[in-house]
Chain A
Amino acid sequence: MSRWGMAVDLDRCTACGACTVACAQENNVALGNPDRPDQLIRWMEILPAERGKYPEVSARLAPSPCQHCDREPPCARVCPVYATYRNVEGLIPQIYEQCIGCRYCVNACPYTCKHFNWSRPEFPAPFERGLNPDVSVRNAGVMEKCNFCYHRLQVVRDTAAQEGREPKLGEYRTACQESCPTKAIRFGDLDGELEGVRENERAFTLLEDLGLMPKVIYLKEKTS
């Protein structure tokens, strides 16, 4: 059984934001309301974090999707209706039709990496032509988040089944990974494509001490 994960090499990341835009485009993320930037939805974000005092300042700019906690995701724990859970492959899907919109999951999430559809998303012409037919447009009042482009896995499996073969290594790719110009984002099976990433000496995860074992693994900047 696969265990899908992501490795983000912060040494290569340039914070260009291509992943953010590609993700939003791929997943029909709502355009947002400029009057309410606090209600903006972006599944993939660059988290800015400045450290140190002037003039010894450094900044870490980390692309941050849903962390896909491997061990008891707090969101799945508190969801009252099975709208989010950890599936057998370690993915944490969000079932929009099941969600009641209580927002408990995001309040329980230490990464606050889920989003709520505060209003019905609108795609005025010509934006509606850019919608991805493989992904549903969410209704108002439900939570959503990064699901590692799960629809692409389905396409990969369907294609493989039609061709009577097993899905190939590296065939399942996420939109952010594909758009990354420096190849800082790698995606795959933690026991397959990404084998050994966790053991990398630069590897760390966000809020490691909470013990949630996120499957988004960061490789910290090299020092020279």
Chain B
Amino acid sequence: MRPGRGGAFRVQIAFFLFIWGFTFVTAGWFAWSARWLHRYGDAWKPAVVMGIAVTSCFALLAGLLTWTFVALGRGENGERFDPVPDPIERRLLAPVLAGWSARTWATALALVAVIAWAGYCWYLQLRYGLAVTGLGRPVFWGMYIVDFDFFLGIAYGLVLLSAVLRLAGADWRRAGQRLAAMGAVFAMIVGPVNILLDLGRLDHLHKVYASGRMQSPLLWDVASIMTFLITCLVYLFLPLIPDFGLLRERVGGFRKPIYRFLSFGWTGSAAQVAALDRANRLLAILVVFVAVIVRSVVAWITSLTLQPLWHSALTGPMYVLGAIFLSAAVLALLLAAMRRAFGLSAVIRPVHFDKLGLVLVLCAVVWGYLMVSELLTVSYGNEPDEMAIIATKLSGRFSLLFWMAVGGLFAAPVALLTRKSWRTAGRVVAASLAVFVGSWAQLYTELVPVLEHPRMPLPGSGHYRPAAVEIATFAGCLAAFVLLTMILTRFVPVVAVFYERRGRGDAAAQATERSREYQAEVTHP
């Protein structure tokens, strides 16, 4: 242990202890649950399966972190980390180093006002009960669950998209990597709030842990949210370390020790870079699995019931695709916003929008295929219960939302972005907005029409229309998402300076290498 690092080091040790401790506590919780479920004669195997899955995920994460930080500590070369400032770095660090402008303050205050309004509405709901919502019989779930699915879709999709791109070695992903991770973390914070909004007895929430039945998909959801939130925090944090190292050198005042602590002794030595790269790659593999599974868990909440149209194996794939689709749109919007706000056109280039546009078109085509599959399967089967619901989507009460979904998720991307020359930033942003709205509309039309058509002719049953409280809280969630993003962009660069710089340096060499490989194959068969 080197002198001068004592305090930070102890905190870091505590951090590792916490991670490992959390892993063991989780394992213990599942084991304990399995034991009492077994004793009650209830289904205990789900607890074992989930315990193994979740615990191994946490153990992998904890191991990865430990191993990486040990490697980082070993790799310190004693040199002062002080790369030469270049224009890219100056551009990217400017928002972090500069103070908040009056406009920023005004925007932040406006967002806080929206959040406060949402908070007041929540207070009203806590006081008068869920009666203040538009929910009733038979529509017991409404906008809260739609919003929950929506934000979780953003989170899972952003992580999935960026991790897949990393594994595929797509260079252009670099500009969006950090934004994706940031967006995922914030969506993971904002999304589950909607579950709290939806619960009738918030004060009984602890019973999920105290007497959770692992066979309920809701418990799977609890476990997956827990797992994924921690996974994507790590996913955000690891690539930040070099930038914390840089910021440590660039800032003064109270922020300096914070950045120093967070940089984990980053000196930029070859050993450290190699260790971090390895960790990032392994993490990318892990999150792809986790994201696909947890997104499917959200879909399974509805598809595991017996209700007509919900009870479909297609829901899972549809949700996973929808998440990627939505997150590509969100990423494009975030990139455009950052480019505009911080003048980053040197880093966020037309190629990024071109590629994201391509992702959107591909998603739109696959989405169209899945939607046609579903409609064909259901209509051909012609079951009355299902057809009644389909009819309200195609031409009934929900037709506006349904065709908004089709327009936003299929027509708009295909019409706007099919040709390469069409995929300009403006068009991609327009299509992304359409996808953003369309995704919400689709989740709504997956959930509500089914509930509005119970199998039994129930007396007193009405139509569902979201009440002001539900709309306000959704606005509050969106505002919180934007505000959190706004705040974090003032503390970390929106594009990873270290990777961007390194990427630029390596790009030419890598391209040459790749092209040499193709050529070699052609010339020497």
Which chain A residues (70-128) contact chain B, with CB distance < 8 Å? Answer: 74, 77-82, 98-104, 106-108, 110-113, 115-120
Nearest CB on B from A9, distance (A): 19
Q: Are A210 and B306 in contact (CB under 8 A)?
A: yes
Contact B199 A36, beta carbon cutoff 8 Å? no
Known contacts A45-B459, A78-B216, A78-B218; is-contact A108 B201 (Cβ 8 Å): no
Inter-subunit contact A112/B459 (CB<8 Å): no
A81 proximity list for chain B (CB < 8 A) = 204, 207-208, 211-213
Q: Interface with A: B136-144, B276-284, B480-488, which one?
A: B136-144
Contacts A47-B459, A98-B207, A112-B454 given; indicate if A77 touches B218 (C-beta within 8 A). Answer: no
Assembled-state Cα–Cα distance A100/B458 (Å):
24
Among B129, B138, B205, B208, max chain A CB count under 10 A is at B129
A149 within 8 A of B: no
Contact call B137/A112, Cβ cutoff below 8 A: yes
CA distance in complex: A49, B384 (Å): 15
A131 to chain B, nearest CB (A): 20
Q: Residues of B contacting A153 with CB < 8 Å?
A: none
Measured between beta carbons, the chain B residues less than 8 angstroms from A206 are 456
Asked if B137 contacts A38 (CB within 8 A), the reply is yes
Q: Which residues of B contact A141 (CB under 8 A)?
A: 129-130, 199-202
Q: A197 within 8 Å of B by Cβ?
A: no
B407 sits at the interface (CB 8 A): no
Per the bound structure, the CA–CA distance linking A113 and B137 in Å amounts to 10
User: How distant is the Cα of A108 from the Cα of B215 in the complex, in angstroms?
Assistant: 14
Q: Are A45 and B458 in contact (CB under 8 A)?
A: yes
Decide if A113 touches B140 in the complex (CB within 8 Å): no
Decide if the interface of chain A is mainly helix, strand, loop or mixed. loop
Using Cβ atoms and an 8 Å threshold, which residues of chain A touch B205? 100
In whole Å, how far is A204's beta carbon from the nearest beta carbon of chain B?
Answer: 15
B301 within 8 A of A: yes
Q: Contact check, B128 vs A108: say whether CB atoms are below 8 A apart.
A: no
- In whole angstroms, how far apart are the Cα atoms of A74 and B455 in the complex? 15
| Cα of A151 to Cα of B98 in the assembled complex, Å | 69
User: Given contacts A81-B207, A110-B307, are A103 and B200 in contact (CB under 8 A)?
Assistant: yes
Q: Mark B139-169, 1 if CB is under 8 A from A, else 0.
A: 1110000000000000000000000000000
Task: Tell yes or no: B198 within 8 A of A by CB.
Answer: yes
B455–A80 touching, CB < 8 Å: no
Tell me the nearest residue of chain A to B128, going by C-beta: A119
B305 within 8 A of A: yes
Q: Is the CB of B459 within 8 A of A46?
A: yes
Q: B196-235 interface mask toward A, CB cutoff 8 Å, 1 = contact, 0 = none?
A: 0011111011011001110111110010000000000000
A160: CB under 8 A from chain B? Answer: no
Q: Does B461 contact A (CB under 8 A)?
A: yes
- The minimal Cβ–Cβ distance linking A222 to chain B, given in whole angstroms, is 23
Asked if A133 is at the interface (CB within 8 A of a chain B CB), the reply is: no
Main secondary structure of the interface of B (DSSP, over half): loop
Query: Which residue of A42, A78, A117 has the most chain B CB atoms within 10 A of its CB atom?
Result: A78
**CB interface residues, B 250-305, toward A, < 8 Å:** 301-302, 304-305
For residue B363, CB closer than 8 A to chain A, the reply is: no
Among the interface residues A33, A81, A120, which one has the most CB atoms of the partner chain B within 10 A? Answer: A81
Taking the nearest CB of chain B, how far is it from the CB of A72, in angstroms? 11
Chain A residues 42 to 76 lying within 8 A of chain B, measured CB to CB, are 42, 45-49, 64, 74
In the bound complex, do residue A100 and residue B200 qualify as a contact, i.e. CB atoms below 8 Å apart? yes
Residues of B within 8 A of A80 (CB): 208, 212-213, 216, 218-219, 222
Interface string of B114-139 (1 = CB under 8 A from A): 00000000000000111101011111
Cβ of B458 and Cβ of A47 under 8 Å apart? Answer: yes
Residues of A contacting B462 with CB < 8 Å?
37-38
The answer to whether B138 touches A119 (Cβ under 8 A) is: no
> Residue A140 contacts which of B129, B211, B219 (CB distance < 8 angstroms)?
B129
Residues on the B chain within 8 Å of A111, using CB: 455-456
The answer to the question of A142 belonging to the interface, with a C-beta cut-off of 8 Å to chain B, is: yes
> B140 is contacted by which of A33, A74, A107, A140 (Cβ under 8 Å)?
A107
The answer to whether B201 touches A39, judged by C-beta atoms less than 8 angstroms apart, is: no
**B505, CB-defined interface residue at 8 Å:** no
> Complex Cα distance A103/B447, Å?
14
Known A47-B456, A103-B200; further 14 A-B contacts with Cβ < 8 A: A37-B462, A38-B136, A42-B459, A45-B459, A80-B213, A82-B211, A82-B213, A100-B208, A101-B130, A102-B200, A103-B141, A104-B216, A108-B305, A139-B201
In the assembled complex, 24 residue pairs joining A and B whose CB atoms fall closer than 8 Å, in A order, are A38-B139, A38-B461, A39-B136, A45-B459, A74-B305, A78-B304, A79-B213, A81-B207, A81-B208, A81-B211, A81-B213, A100-B208, A101-B200, A103-B200, A107-B140, A110-B306, A110-B307, A112-B138, A115-B137, A116-B137, A120-B129, A141-B199, A206-B456, A210-B306
Closest 9 CB pairs of A and B: A101-B200, A141-B200, A38-B136, A38-B462, A119-B131, A119-B129, A118-B131, A80-B216, A140-B129
